[in-house]
Amino acid sequence: MQQVSGYSRIQIKRLVRQSMKTGTLKRRQRTVNGFTRIYTREDVQRLAHMDELHGTLSGPATKKLCERAYTVFGQAAYQRLAGISVGHLYNPAARHPLPCRATSLREDPSLRLPHRRTP
């Protein structure tokens, strides 16, 4: 039964005991709520906008800019982002991926030096 149902030995034992005691099996719903989201899609868009304004900076620099936007300039939209840790700066982007604007690392062919060839 373990291989067919996917239940462990202890789970099957518990279900058999429940069936013998009550005559029926009661289905139990598992909770799927998990953790609540702290950072919204708007926060991710604000981070992307911050990157556009200042260029893609390092994590600590971006964190400091978010803190200054809230504390010094009083922008309430940056309240949640003011307390973000450097490690969590990259987590919201993983949940809500934005289009990648990264520049290509390939060399531009127009910038190559001309090659000298033998006549």
Spatial CB neighbours of 41, under 8 Å, sequence gap ≥ 6: 96
Q: Residue with structure tokens 């290509």?
A: 104
Average pLDDT over residues 92-99: 54
Average pLDDT over residues 50-63: 88
Structure-block tokens of residue 54 = 């200042």
Per the CB < 8 A criterion, the answer to whether 59 and 89 are in contact is yes
Average pLDDT over residues 3-15: 88
Per the CB < 8 A criterion, the answer to whether 10 and 18 are in contact is no
Average pLDDT over residues 26-55: 82
* Alpha-helix runs per DSSP H in 26-104: 41-54, 59-71, 79-82, 91-95
pLDDT at residue 98 greater than cutoff 70: no
pTM (predicted TM-score): 0.53
Average pLDDT over residues 110-119: 69
Instruction: Kindly tell me the burial class for residue 67, based on how many C-beta atoms sit within 10 Å of its own C-beta (0-12, 13-18, 19 or more).
Output: middle
